[in-house]
Amino acid sequence: MSTPVREATGLAGDPALPRRDDLLDETVVGPRLGELLAGTHPVSGTATCTRVRAKYRVGESLRATFRVGDGTVERLVSARMFGSEEAARGQLVRARNAAAAAGGSPECVLLDETLRTVFWVFPQDRKLTGLRHLTEPPAALRHVFGTPWRQSELMAYTPEKAATVRCADGSGATVGFAKVQVGEEGRRSVATLRSARRGLGEADGLHLPDAVGYVPMHHMALFTAAPGRPLSGLPRAQVPAAMSALGAAVSRLHQQPTNGFGPFTRLDPLSVSGAGALVDAARPDLAALTQSLVNMLLATRRAPGPTALLHGDLHPKNVLVHANGVSLVDLDQAGTGPAAAELGGVLARLWCPRPSDPIDPDTAAIAADALLGAYDRPPAMEDLIWFAAAALLVERAVRAISRVDLDGIAAPEQVLVTASAWLRDQEVRP
């Protein structure tokens, strides 16, 4: 059987979504959105269209988010592509009816039949309700943080899943954060954070924000602000010291009680096999290399060590560094698992940095040593290397595909080769 042709994105063609690459092309989407928005949300002919997010499931679905603006007016528009024009038209009708029933604006839901795509103009969303209450806080919530919540700044938005705003007073100072999530996820977020904080003292070098409460009517979770600057924004020279603080903070988190938390499974053998299948489907030209790595991971997986409370999503934007230690935020994915799974994921970022987040090898090696040096009794190096290699496949390679990261899609071979070398040699050379 012939190998599917790689298209403009670098991915193999997808018969279920034949116009996939068009929805990911800003030069195609920009003019179409300009026409669709002209009736109710016009922007000037000089408007720019920038893709800020994508979520792709091979053979199933494609979602994307665009920022459209002309310097004076800016709109955030989410999109979902469907497999047929009939499915797209059906979604349009359902979405407009849902918007009307929720007191929203049906005209903020638009259809492009050629692309088989439905667009939602923020704050309309396919699944999330209550988004307008994030940007326009209702009177009943304006004093929930003590200091009045007067204005909001959208910090993160994942269509159909969650949106977070920074809540500010009249002068723009942060008073807290508010998050709307789909279904009961917001309630679970509040419960998870409160459980993670059990018995945690401020002198531990680890700070977790507090959960102010949950508002069922708006599916909104409210949190206090946490001190610190994101690790992702620190100068490279400060990274080793930050990693030392992170090692101590994560060590403390891993000692927290685990009762009530579900298992962390993202790097388990089943996830490794699934990740390999996904990379095969998207990059069949790398099938032999991918399968070799999967086989090596499955053959060398050791019995898991003692379980710990893991953050579950310990990327640099969720780590805030300050003078007294580290704040960890966004614990929605917290769960129980071996400590090496979390530490291995952090080490993978240092040992094999992303093209978009480079770090020189010497600094990376010093930072990795600082992380482990500050961690109380770190796991065996064999386990750390295994989980770091698994993270390169399950997190790095898969996320490059699912988020249609063109730089990552273009260079997965290096990632797969690096992970295989780590497992084969049992040593790492950043």
Does some domain include residue 430?
Answer: no
Does some domain include residue 32?
Answer: yes
Determine contact, residues 400/409, Cβ cutoff 8 Å: yes
Asked if residue 305 and residue 208 are part of one domain, the reply reads no
Which stretches of 117-210 are assigned E, i.e. beta strand? 117-121, 151-158, 162-168, 174-181, 206-207
Q: What per-residue confidence (pLDDT) applies to 204?
A: 74
- Domain closes at, from 190, 223, 256: 223
| Degrees, nearest 5: CA angle 152-156-161 | 115
First-to-last C-alpha distance (Å) of the chain: 38
What average pLDDT does the chain have?
Answer: 92
Does some domain include residue 126?
Answer: no
| 222-271 residue pLDDT tens | 999 999 999 999 998 999 999 999 999 999 999 999 999 999 999 999 99
Specify the number of domains making up the chain: 3
CA atoms within 13 A on the CB side of 278: 23
Asked if residue 415 and residue 296 are part of one domain, the reply reads yes
CA–CA dist 284, 425 (Å, integer) = 26
Tokens (6 digits) for 383: 């386990």
CA–CA dist 254, 242 (Å, integer) = 18
| 318-351 residue pLDDT tens | 999 999 999 999 999 999 999 999 999 999 999 9
Asked if residue 194 and residue 108 are part of one domain, the reply reads no
Asked if residue 392 and residue 292 are part of one domain, the reply reads yes
Instruction: Give yes or no for residue 299 having a pLDDT over 70.
Output: yes
Tokens (6 digits) for 53: 């997010």
CA–CA dist 125, 108 (Å, integer) = 9
Percent of the chain clearing pLDDT 70 (strictly above)? 96
Asked if residue 400 and residue 362 are part of one domain, the reply reads yes
Does some domain include residue 177?
Answer: yes
Asked if residue 343 and residue 204 are part of one domain, the reply reads no
Does some domain include residue 12?
Answer: no
User: How many CB atoms within 10 Å of residue 40?
Assistant: 11
- Domain closes at, from 223, 258, 277: 223
Determine contact, residues 271/394, Cβ cutoff 8 Å: yes
Q: Taking residues 132-153, what's their average pLDDT? A: 93
| 363-421 residue pLDDT tens | 999 999 999 999 999 999 999 999 999 999 999 999 999 999 988 887 889 999 999 99
What phi and psi values does residue 364 have, to the nearest 5 degrees?
-60, -45
What global pTM score does this model have? 0.92
Confidence grade of residue 2 (pLDDT, cut at 50, 70, 90): very low
User: How many CB atoms within 10 Å of residue 115?
Assistant: 20
Residue partners of 274: CB distance under 8 A and separation at least 6: none
Asked if residue 261 and residue 175 are part of one domain, the reply reads no
Residue carrying structure tokens 């290399």 = 289
- Domain closes at, from 64, 96, 121: 121
Q: Tell me 213's DSSP state.
A: E
Asked if residue 250 and residue 211 are part of one domain, the reply reads no
Asked if residue 195 and residue 252 are part of one domain, the reply reads no
Does some domain include residue 335?
Answer: yes
Does some domain include residue 61?
Answer: yes
Which of 47, 9, 59, 96 has the alpha carbon at shortest distance from 403? 9
CA–CA dist 331, 143 (Å, integer) = 25
Determine contact, residues 317/328, Cβ cutoff 8 Å: no
* Number of residues that make up the chain: 430
Does some domain include residue 78?
Answer: yes
Residue carrying structure tokens 């409460």 = 213
Task: Give the domain range for residue 201.
Answer: 132-223
Q: What per-residue confidence (pLDDT) applies to 1?
A: 39
Asked if residue 159 and residue 72 are part of one domain, the reply reads no
| Degrees, nearest 5: CA angle 349-380-330 | 45
Antiparallel, parallel or unpaired: β 206-207 and 109-112: unpaired
What phi and psi values does residue 306 have, to the nearest 5 degrees?
-60, 145
| 171-223 residue pLDDT tens | 999 999 999 999 999 999 999 999 999 988 766 789 999 999 999 999 999 99
Asked if residue 219 and residue 109 are part of one domain, the reply reads no
Confidence grade of residue 4 (pLDDT, cut at 50, 70, 90): low
Asked if residue 316 and residue 242 are part of one domain, the reply reads yes
